[in-house]
Amino acid sequence: MRIQCPCCGERSLDEFTYYGDASVTRPNAFAPTAMSDYHAYVYQRDNRDGDHRELWYHAAGCHACLVVTRNVRSHIISDVRIAREVARERDAAALPGSTS
Ligand SMILES: [Zn+2]
């Protein structure tokens, strides 16, 4: 498998480290339901078929964290984006008055 890094171009999987599922959000540690929220966050994951968003770290390259959309059946990568930009867009969409 090869990953198209937005900074470095197409690189071998050997240069990257898998950081986990990019579709989950870390729970609030101070919420009254933190224990059950963390249990669900760590242990209760869906094993979906099709496209999956994953975090990858370009350890042997630019050191960017990437959100890679990969089909878990075919391993075809349909999108690679810088994780910081994805988080920035998500946070902007969550602001009050946002239209998305
Ligand atoms: Zn890179």
**All structural domains of the chain with their residue ranges:** 2-26+33-94
Q: CATH assignment of 2-26+33-94?
A: 3.30.2270.10
Of 26, 92, 28, the C-alpha closest to 55 is: 26
pLDDT, tens digit (0-9, with 9 covering 90-100), for 41-95: 999 988 889 999 999 999 999 999 999 999 999 999 999 999 999 999 988 888 8
* Distance between Cα 2 and ligand 1 center (Å): 12
Q: Measuring CA to CA, how many Å separate 67 from each of 15, 29, 62, 81?
A: 15, 24, 14, 5
Separation of 61 CA from ligand 1 center, angstroms? Answer: 5
Q: Quote the ligand 1 centre to 7 CA distance (angstroms).
A: 5
Give residue-wise pLDDT tens across range 13-22.
Answer: 999 999 999 9
Global pTM reads 0.82
Distance 53 CA to ligand 1 centre (A): 18
What is the distance in A from the centroid of ligand 1 to the CA of 41?
A: 28
